[in-house]
Structure 1
Amino acid sequence: MRHPPPDVASTVCYGRTDLPVDAVRFDACVAAMRASLAARLDGREPVAIHSSPLRRARCAADALAASLGVPVKEDARLAEMDFGVWEMRPWDTLDRNDLDAWARDINGFAPPGGEPARDIVLRMAAWARGLRGVGSAAQDVHVAVAHAGPIRLHTATALRMPTTACLTWALDFGALCHLHIADDGHARLMRWNV
């Protein structure tokens, strides 16, 4: 699930910056997240709520976990992309040549001082592999509260699509992406942006 809206202007580039949630919209967004999740769990109970350490995700994860009576497992691999020196700068002030280079090589280009998409793909894949480790059952339900970039990239990778295929997929604040991972490791996208 994507986190609730952060308290920042939509014209600002933010990623790894630990922004507070938008207090005006937080409660309504979390209530909608709870309802969406309940409608899709079909009576099943998650074993845990996994969360990015960034406040905009962790606050929602804490609220969801409390209502479900499950623990929160914070994991830095679920954090948003690090945009380096681009962080907290208006998009229209960023160097056009850098933005063009990023558009040409989403996987390999890193904003100055930041990380490339391929690093996000690798850390999300490592996180997902860990869910299938010792003591984990194939039918376990795991809920993660994370960020649009990592969710899109992980979904495309899990579906064995090019990572660039997912970049234009809309993912609203508080929206759910439901992936089913079969015993053989193949993923199926059950729901997107609900």
Structure 2
Amino acid sequence: MRHPPPDVASTVCYGRTDLRVDAARFDTCVAAMQARLVAQLEGRTPAAIYSSPLQRARCAADALAASFGLPVTEDVRLAEMDFGAWEMRPWDTLERNDLDAWARDINGFAPPGGESARDIVLRMAAWARGLRDVACAAEDVHVAVAHAGPIRLHTATALRMPTTACLTWALDFGALCHLHVADDGHARLIRWNA
């Protein structure tokens, strides 16, 4: 699930910066997240709830976990992309040449001091492998509250699609992505932006 809206202008490049949630929209967004999750669970209880350490995700994960009487397992691999020197700068102040270089090499380009899409794919894959190692039963549901970039990239990778395929996929704040991963590692997308 994608976290609720952070307290930042949409014109600002933010990723790993630990932004507060938008307090005016938090409760409504979390209530909608809870309703979406309960509808997807169809009477089941999650086996575990995971969260990015960034507070915009962690606050929502805490609220969801409390409703099920579960703890939250925080994992830095679920954090948003680190934009390095671009963090908290307005998009329109970034060097055009850098943005063009990123567009030419989505997988390999990293902003100065930041991460590339490949870096995110690798850390999300490591998180998913670890999750498969602890999953007890095929019907277990594991919930992660994370960020649009890692969710998109992980979904494309899990579905064995090119990384660039996911760049235009809409994923609203508080929205749910439901992947079913079989024992053989093959994934099937059940819901997107639900």
Q: Same fold (TM over 0.5)?
A: yes
Q: What pairs up with 1:106-125 in 2 under 5 angstroms?
A: 106-125=106-125
The residue aligned with 1:179 is: 179
- Matched length: 194
Q: Are the equivalent residues in 2 in contact too, given 1:47–1:140 (CA < 8 A)? A: yes
Gaps of 5+ in 2: none
Task: Give the distance between the partners of 1:152 and 1:94, measured in 2 at CA.
Answer: 23
Q: In structure 1, what is the equivalent of residue 84 of structure 2?
A: 84
Deviations 1:69-128 (A, max 9, x none): 111000000000000000000000000000000011011000011010101000000001
Q: CA deviation at 1:136?
A: 2.6
CA distance, structure 1, for counterparts of residue 102 and residue 10 of structure 2: 20
Give the match for residue 24 of structure 2.
24
SS in 2 for 1:62: helix
Q: Percent identity?
A: 87
| Distance across 2 between alignment mates of 1:40 and 1:93 | 41
One-letter identity of the residue aligned with 2:10: S
Would the aligned equivalents of 1:132 and 1:138 in 2 still touch at CA under 8 Å?
no
Alignment partner of 1:151: what SS?
A: helix
Q: CA RMSD in A?
A: 0.8
Give the CA deviation at 1:28: 0.1
The residue number in structure 1 matching 2:153 is 153
Pair 1:11-2:11 in alignment:
yes
Query: How far does residue 134 in structure 1 lie from its aligned partner after superposition?
Result: 4.4
| 2:192 alignment counterpart | 192
Equivalent residue, structure 1, for 2:101 = 101
Partner residue in 1 for 2:61: 61
For 2:182 and 2:114, locate their aligned partners in 1 and report how far apart those are by CA, in whole Å: 34
Report how far residue 48 of structure 1 moved: 1.1
What is the distance in 2 between the residues matched to 1:115 and 1:40?
Answer: 33
Kindly provide the amino acid, as one letter, of the partner of residue 73 in structure 1. T
Give the structure-1-normalised TM-score.
0.98
Give the distance between the partners of 1:15 and 1:132, measured in 2 at CA: 27
Q: What are the Cα deviations for residues 45-89 of structure 1, in whole angstroms up to 9, with x where unaligned?
A: 111110000000000000000001111000000000000000000
Please identify runs of 4+ aligned residues in structure 1 that moved more than 3 A.
Answer: none
Q: Secondary structure at 1:101's aligned position in 2?
A: helix
* TM-score after normalising by structure 2: 0.98
2: CA distance, partners of 1:188 / 1:135: 17
Is the 1:51–1:58 Cα contact (8 Å) retained in structure 2?
A: yes
Per the TM alignment, residue 135 of structure 1 is displaced from its structure 2 partner at its CA by 6.0
Which string of whole-angstrom CA distances, capped at 9 and with x for unpartnered residues, describes residues 9-40 of structure 1? 00000000000000000000000000000011
Give yes or no for contact 1:6–1:19 (8 Å, CA) kept in 2: yes
- The one-letter amino acid paired with 2:164 is T
Deviation at 1:137, TM superposition (A): 2.3
Alpha-carbon distance in 2 for matches of 1:135, 1:102: 36
Give SS of 2:189's match.
strand
